[in-house]
Structure 1
């Protein structure tokens, strides 16, 4: 997997709060399998908020998606294998 750190918008969640769709480079990707999930504390020395992380399969892509807690409340693609 390679690091990418791409900000995402258009992330759709299921009832449990897991990503089921996301838009990357103007293309919609549907999550077909959730491989793993975890909670990361963030780098406190850089004042990063905690985040939820998912490793998912979306078609031919395997991606790691992160969601930062407030105040930033942003989604990004941390790593990708295509």
Structure 2
């Protein structure tokens, strides 16, 4: 199953995802499997962002957070 820029709420602990809420369901993050920076396609107006691959309950999810004040979070994709 894939999700394309589906907004989610993410609670942080020590600056990293600790819980995500998707479709009204909370998913505690057991592990951050990877973390990287993406510069964005500036020519399309995309903002740079920090990306995380997390294990959250039964979900393995790729989360993105835009840089800047109030940077939004979204679920970029789910891995099977």
Q: 4+ residue stretches of structure 1 with deviation over 4 A? A: none
Unaligned runs of 5+ in 1: none
Q: Please give the residue correspondences for 1:20-31 in structure 2 after superposition, counting only pairs within 5 Å.
A: 20-31=18-29
Aligned to 1:2, what secondary structure does the other structure show?
Answer: coil
Match of 1:54 in 2: 52
- Looking at structure 2, the residues matched to 3 and 76 of structure 1 have their Cα atoms a distance apart, in angstroms, of 9
Match of 1:8 in 2: 8
Aligned to 2:4, what secondary structure does the other structure show?
Answer: strand
Unaligned runs of 5+ in 2: none
Q: Give the superposition deviation at 1:4.
A: 2.6
- Looking at structure 2, the residues matched to 23 and 69 of structure 1 have their Cα atoms a distance apart, in angstroms, of 20
Aligned to 1:48, what secondary structure does the other structure show?
Answer: coil
Match of 1:39 in 2: 37
Q: CA RMSD in A?
A: 1.6
Q: Give the superposition deviation at 1:62.
A: 0.4
Q: Give the superposition deviation at 1:71.
A: 5.5
Instruction: Tell whether the 8 Å contact from 1:4 to 1:80 is kept in structure 2 after alignment.
Output: no
Alpha-carbon spacing, 1:2–1:60, altered in 2? closer, same or farther (3 Å): same
- Between the two proteins, the alignment pairs up a number of residues equal to 80
TM-score (normalised: structure 1): 0.88
